[in-house]
Each structure stands twice: as C-alpha cells, then as structure tokens.
Amino acid sequence: MENNEQRKELKVSAIENGTVIDHIPANSLFKVIKILSLENLEEQVLFGTNLESKKYGRKGIVKVSNKFFESDEVNKIALVAPHASLIEIRDYKVVHKSVVEIPNHIQKIVRCFNPNCITNHEQITTSFDVIKDEETLKLRCHYCEKTTLRENAVFL
Amino acid sequence: MKNRSLISITDFSKEEQIRILDIAEGFEQQPTQNILGNYVVATLFFEPSTRTRLSFESAASRLGAKVIGFSSAASSSVSKGESLNDTILTVSNYSDIIVMRHPVDGSARYASEVSPVPVINAGDGANQHPTQTLLDMYSIRKTQGTLDNLNIAFVGDLKYGRTVHSLTMALTQYNTTFHLVSPTELKLPSYVKRHIKDNNLSYYQYTDLLAVIPHVDIIYMTRIQKERFSDSLEYERVKNAYNLSNSMLAGSRSNMAIMHPLPRVNEIAADVDSNPKAYYFQQALNGVFVRQALLAAILGVK
Ligand SMILES: [Zn+2]
C-alpha cells in the first residue's frame, strides 16, 4: 500500500524532505495554496491537479520541500479540503501520515459575508467559530455573530 | 462582573443576569445613590438614539458619575475619518467605562477588545442590544413575580426585530412557552426557533392576534416597519392586523402585562395607555434601574 502510494506521488516528482498534501479536491487546489500562503515560501513547491483518484475521481496534490506544518496551521485547509491527508517525508520515505481535522476556530482566511460587519469596515483580523452541524459546516463570525455556510465562504 | 464588558446577553451567565436584576431592584427602591462620584462614564453614540442615551445618562447621573461623550458621529472625530480603534483608545484615557452605540454589526465586540476599560453595548447595528434584554427580563419578573414557566406572546415583526431574538434566547433559560404572532413574511427566523427546540420548549405560531390574548402572561408588541415590505399594499394590510386596542383586552388574564420596546407607531392604540395592564412606560423607566445596576456592578461598587 505504502509503495503504491509512493509510486503515485512520482507523477509530481518526489521530494527528499518535506510535506505532501494529498487528496485535495481538484477545484480546491489553488485555495489550499493560498490559505497556506505557499506563494510566499522560499522553498520548492510542486503541485498537480486533476490527477486520478479512486476515492474522489479527480484530486489535487501539493508537495512542499523542507517544510513541516503545525497541525493548527494545516487544519485551516480542512474548510476546502476536508479529507486531505498530510504525509511527512524524510529522506524520500513516508515517516508520518495523518488526515486534516476541521478546527473549532479559524482566523484570517475567510471574509465575513455580512457587508455591515465591522471586519469589512476596519482593518481587523476576521475570526470565526466553526459549527459542525448535521453534515454542514457553518462559520459564526466572532464580531457580528452572523453565520455563513461553508459553501458561501469567501477566502481572503 | 467587575471590569467585564457586556456585548451580548450571553456574555453574562444566568446567575449574573439575575444578580443584575436584583441589584436593579435596589435602585428602584432608592434611585439616587452617590456611589459613582469618582467615576467618568463615556457615552459614545455613533448613531443617534436619544431614548437609549438619555436612559444611560440618567442612570449615571443618579449615581453621581460624570458623563462625557457625543450623541452622533457628526459631532465626533469620526466625521474626520478617525478609525473606531483610535476613538476608543482616546476616549478610554478619559473615562472608566464606555457605553457605545454604533450602526455597524460587531463594532461593540471589537471596541471591547481594543479598550482598556469595560464596554457596554448599547446597540451594534442589527446585532445585539443586551441592556434592552435585561430591562425586558426585569419588567417581566416585576409584573409576574417570576421569570419561570410563563406564556409569552411576541407580536409584529419577529423576523428583523433583534429585541425579540435576544429576549427569546434569554427566556429559553426559564421554561417559557412562546406564542409567536406575525404576518407570514415576518415570522421568527428558523435559527431562533431552533434555539427554542434545542431547549425542549414549545412555540406556537399565529397570524391572528386576538386568539392568543386570553392565554398569555405577557404580550410583547413590536413595530412593523414599512421598509420591510416589497409590496406596500401588503404592509397596509398587516399593519392594522396588529393594532392592539383596549376592547381586545376584555378576556385577558388578570396578571397580563403589555410590553413594547418603544417607540410605538400605531400598534398600540392610545386607549390602552390607561389600562393598568399597559406596562410599556414603566418598562422604559426600568431601563434606568437596570443600567444603574450594570454601571455599578461593572465598576465594582455593587
Ligand atoms: Zn461578521
């Protein structure tokens, strides 16, 4: 299984040390890159999308060299890639594998949908409680207390 | 509650809410007490609300506090483009507590996070107005002797009225049965009803006001605003449907009280005012006692 997985990763050439984020829905790949601010990274970043996946049809994948994410950092992507897996690579080998978890709280990455919210009027870091509610995810703004469905969330 | 801000009613626990009501009773007994002589209260009204501002300023004055502030954004540095952050930081240098009303949702929460002194939210846009909720609770307890197990009717615009939403949320702590009277297009939003259900309480929805009058302990009237309707004929039809007149009160319970957050337009006829069940002017006065209690508790003198 592990060998199989490694071979598949070779489609977007292998990395020596770093993190692979796999099982990203194909249409969320660029959101993931944005949420993790990978465009500002000095390290090598490889990515691919519309790759075949047994589970999801088409998936995206990101490989970041020499970068190991803190879990609360990477959990932010759970909003757009709830089933993403995180693979830690050392010396071309998978040393740890985990699945992202939806955080209880998110900051910065989403804009409040309420045009009359203070966060859309002044320079304020947005902040939301994540409400996991019967299959749907909702974001409750810490400031205006209005709730947005995940589908309607606008990423900053 | 010392040094705590009050932004949403849920910032205070049930016990703390009750304590505020108890302290307010003391101020109803003896409204003038010189206990805040060393304190400065700032009232920052970024949008005009004369009623609420005067109530707070009366509360502060009766306790001997000095009051500073402004009554509209036009008369403050905001009109020169100052950020809320800067206004709050500046004013907190001059005062021990800030009472704030602002047209933008969430502004009060933000102010409480940047302010070194506690903030009382006197209304932030369409979001929260917790001192209204506390004075409503005080008025219900005053007229009924209890907050528990009551039948309460909310009448009018239940969709947009934040007063109704906050009070409903607060009352779910007291085994309330809710009677919701509104035009179909102004029904209570589902997230508020959901909150009632989550607390295993019942609500009943009506379009006809007359039918509920004999069965309730409180009739809480609200104003229906014309701008909520896309069809002005529809507005004309419903506005008269919820015009409470004295003759409609014939079969009501002896303990029943009529409340209204004021100002009213035509939803309560003038002939109701002389009925002993009309409680809305006393309700407004109770706002002063509740605000006295909040100032005293948050400044740590009660
Ligand atoms: Zn917001």
pLDDT at B268 over 50: yes
Higher pLDDT, B117 or A11: B117
Q: What is the pTM of this model?
A: 0.89
pLDDT of amino acid B77: 73
Fold that domain A2-99 belongs to in CATH:
Alpha-Beta Plaits (3.30.70)
Quick check: A118 and B8 CB within 8 A? no
Q: Which of A124, A144, A147 sits opposite B127 (nearest CB)?
A: A144
Window from A67-71, A95-99, B179-183 with minimum mean pLDDT: A67-71
Provide the pLDDT for residue A150: 80
A8-59 pLDDT, tens digit per residue, is: 545 557 899 999 999 999 999 998 998 898 989 999 999 999 988 887 789 9
pLDDT digits (tens, 9 = 90+) for A87-132: 999 999 999 999 998 889 998 888 999 999 999 999 999 999 999 8
Nearest to A145 among B84, B110, B127 (CB): B127
Given CATH 2.30.30.20, say whether it is the number of domain A105-155: yes
Residue B128 with chain A: CB contacts under 8 Å: 145
Reported as half-sphere exposure (CB side, CA atoms, 13 A), residue B236 has a value of: 3
On the question of pLDDT at A5 being above 60, the answer is: no
Inter-chain CB proximity A147 and B191 less than 8 Å = yes
Mean pLDDT of B47-72: 96
Q: Can you give the pLDDT at residue B124?
A: 96
- Between residues 81 and 120 of chain A, which touch chain B (CB distance below 8 Å)? 112, 114, 116-119
CA–CA separation, A111 and A127 (whole Å): 9
Q: Which residues of A touch B104 (CB under 8 A)?
A: 116-118, 121
Backbone φ and ψ for A9, nearest 5 degrees, come out as -60, -25
Q: What whole-number distance in Å separates Cα of residue B219 and Cα of residue B237? A: 21
Portion of chain B with pLDDT greater than 70, in percent = 100
Element (H, E) at B143: helix B130-144
pLDDT, average across residues B138-145: 98
Distance from the Cα of B53 to chain A's closest Cα (Å) equals 22
* CATH class of residue range B131-284: alpha beta
For residue B281, is pLDDT > 70? yes
Give the nearest partner residue to B84 out of A122, A146, A147, using CB atoms.
A122
The residues spanned by each domain of chain B are 32-128, 131-284
Q: Do domains B32-128 and B131-284 have the same CATH topology?
A: yes
Domain B32-128 has CATH 3.40.50.1820: no
Dig out the tokens for B171 from the structure: 């009352």
pLDDT for residue B185: 85
Contact A102, A79 (CB under 8 A): yes
Residues of B in contact with A112 (CB under 8 A): 106
Boundaries of every domain in chain A: 2-99, 105-155
The DSSP line for B222-280 is -PPPGGG-S-HHHHHHHHHHT-B-GGGGTT--TT-EEE--S--SSSB-GGGTTSTTB-H
Neighboring chain A residues of B110 at a CB cutoff of 8 Å: 118, 122, 124, 143
